[in-house]
Structure 1
Amino acid sequence: MLAQSEAIPSFREVDSMEARVQGCVTCHGQSGQGTSNGYFPRIAGKPAGYLYNQLVAFRDGTRHYAPMNYLVAYLPDAYLKEIAQHFASQRPPFAPADPMKADLETMRRGGALVAGGDAGKGIPACVACHGIALTGMEPGIPGLVGLRPTYVVAQLTRWRVGERHAAEPDCMKRVATRLSDADMNAVAAFLSQQAAPKDPSPEPANVVRMPLACGSQK
């Protein structure tokens, strides 16, 4: 049987950010840099507003992933805001790339959707909202660079089928329902082969540039 001192992690301060984020870093990396597991994305450097919204969604059950729902089930808003701000301020190196194999036509389609969208299908360019360097936009739009392709496809699919939601008007719901399976794979493949940006910081808010009304930017 472990002595009490052995059972408690040896943090410098028990009530510290280091202690609070232990449940997060187990899956997302010590500084939120992400891991080789496609289901645990990079959270470092993402806008604090975005991270906070996701934590609240997991806590309140509007976003579903059992370990996350359990981890934040009883945490108050102020506590979640501090965690969000902590990871938003982190700038660790990006995890090693995990390029998705794809043919030239798939890559061409992915690049076209990311940079220019598809006006015929009512799909805006990813960069219009997620930033020219795909590092996100303050206060509530996440970066896409550095995400694993399995995660990108999974989240787009969840939006399309209604398993994931954002504040209304839910712009990502509108986008995802217009993407075919091939489009989703093309976007994921293209994103997986993009180099890490020199500055991973999200862009300042620019609602005027955005092609769709977006509840995440309220």
Structure 2
Amino acid sequence: MMTSKYIAGGLGLLLGLGLVDGKAEAQNGDVERGETAAGTCVACHQADGSGMNVPGGESWPRLAGLDAGYIAKQLHDFKADRRHNASMQPFANMLDDQQIADVAAYYSEMPVTAAQGGGDADEALLARGEQLALRGDWDEYIVSCKSCHGPRNEGAGDTFPGIASQHAGYIKSQLHAWQAGERDNDPQNLMGAIAKRMGDDDIRAVSAWLANQSVAPEQGESQ
């Protein structure tokens, strides 16, 4: 129990530090200019920003509704080779700093779309995914997703993206990338440490559960 308290306390400190990172990455973005600049993104991320999930193949993430600062940081990281993807790097390199800010603003204003790839999960797998996403597994020192990504896993600031209603294939591929050390552009390698404690079944479970979550305003909230 004491160990859990130390982990939780350390996590809180990391969150406090991490949320400062990337604040300057998406300033003064213009949505109309962003629509024009995003013309190169449509083939993979679709006109509505919904992305694409290819069963057994590559999945392109939903960008619609993600925080502008987060999108901008990822684009800058691709340009600076802090994040690696053979498909993304050439497109990121085509954008200057202003265009990155504009594209990020454009996608952030789009409504969140439904995810793909989580429909073939059985009840047991989804139950495990829900546990990991909402409560974690302290026996395995796996912190819950919502500890960083917000109460409904819809994102927290510009450091932790919304992962609810993200494609299962994309979540799975990123967890495997952190697990293998192929991705490490998050604060203090927090995601890498968590992913390394997860087995393949856990990764499948949480990816499927998150993909099955609908992101919509609660009753009484405005768009």
TM range (shorter): 0.7 to 0.9
Q: Structure 1 counterpart of 2:133, which letter?
A: V
Q: Does the 8 Å CA contact 2:78/2:92 hold for their aligned counterparts?
A: yes
Q: Does 1:21 align with 2:29?
A: no
Q: Does 1:75 align with 2:98?
A: no
Is the partner of 1:137 in helix, strand or coil? coil
**Take 1:24 and 1:191, find their aligned partners in 2: how far apart are those partners?**
24
Is the partner of 2:216 in helix, strand or coil? coil
Using a 3 Å threshold, how does the CA distance of structure 1 residues 79 and 197 change in structure 2: closer, same or farther? same
TM-score relative to the length of structure 2: 0.74
**Take 2:148 and 2:205, find their aligned partners in 1: how far apart are those partners?**
18
Q: CA deviation at 1:51?
A: 0.5
Q: Does the 8 Å CA contact 2:149/2:155 hold for their aligned counterparts?
A: yes
Alignment of 1:36-47 (within 5 A): 36-37=53-54, 39-47=59-67
TM-score relative to the length of structure 1: 0.76
Alignment of 1:138-149 (within 5 A): 138-149=157-168
Q: CA deviation at 1:189?
A: 1.8
Q: Counterpart in 2 of 1:66?
A: 86
**Take 1:161 and 1:36, find their aligned partners in 2: how far apart are those partners?**
22
Q: Structure 2 counterpart of 1:149, which letter?
A: A
Q: Counterpart in 1 of 2:13?
A: none
Q: Structure 1 counterpart of 2:64, which letter?
A: A
Q: Does the 8 Å CA contact 1:36/1:95 hold for their aligned counterparts?
A: no
Q: Does the 8 Å CA contact 2:125/2:205 hold for their aligned counterparts?
A: yes
Write the deviation string for residues 8-49 of structure 1: whole angstroms up to 9, x where unpaired: xxxxxxx94332110112211213122344611111111112
Q: Does 1:89 align with 2:106?
A: no
**Take 1:63 and 1:96, find their aligned partners in 2: how far apart are those partners?**
23
Q: Counterpart in 2 of 1:193?
A: 212
Q: Counterpart in 2 of 1:131?
A: 150
Is the partner of 2:51 in helix, strand or coil? coil
Using a 3 Å threshold, how does the CA distance of structure 1 residues 112 and 27 change in structure 2: closer, same or farther? same
**Take 1:124 and 1:156, find their aligned partners in 2: how far apart are those partners?**
14
Q: CA deviation at 1:186?
A: 0.9
Q: Structure 2 counterpart of 1:126, which letter?
A: C
**Take 2:61 and 2:142, find their aligned partners in 1: how far apart are those partners?**
24
**Take 2:134 and 2:165, find their aligned partners in 1: how far apart are those partners?**
17
Is the partner of 2:165 in helix, strand or coil? coil
Q: CA deviation at 1:55?
A: 0.4
Q: Structure 2 counterpart of 1:73, which letter?
A: N
Write the deviation string for residues 141-199 of structure 1: whole angstroms up to 9, x where unpaired: 11112222111111100001011112441211111111111110111121222233236
Alignment of 1:40-55 (within 5 A): 40-55=60-75
Q: C-alpha root-mean-square deviation of aligned residues, in Å?
A: 2.1
**Take 2:187 and 2:164, find their aligned partners in 1: how far apart are those partners?**
25
Q: CA deviation at 1:62?
A: 2.2
Q: Counterpart in 1 of 2:15?
A: none
Q: Counterpart in 1 of 2:181?
A: 162
**Take 2:186 and 2:148, find their aligned partners in 1: how far apart are those partners?**
15
Percent of aligned pairs with the same amino acid: 31
Write the deviation string for residues 44-90 of structure 1: whole angstroms up to 9, x where unpaired: 11111211111011112222222210112253333312221221122
Unaligned runs of 5+ in 1: 1-14, 200-218
Q: Does the 8 Å CA contact 1:100/1:149 hold for their aligned counterparts?
A: no
**Take 1:184 and 1:45, find their aligned partners in 2: how far apart are those partners?**
23
Q: CA deviation at 1:96?
A: 6.1
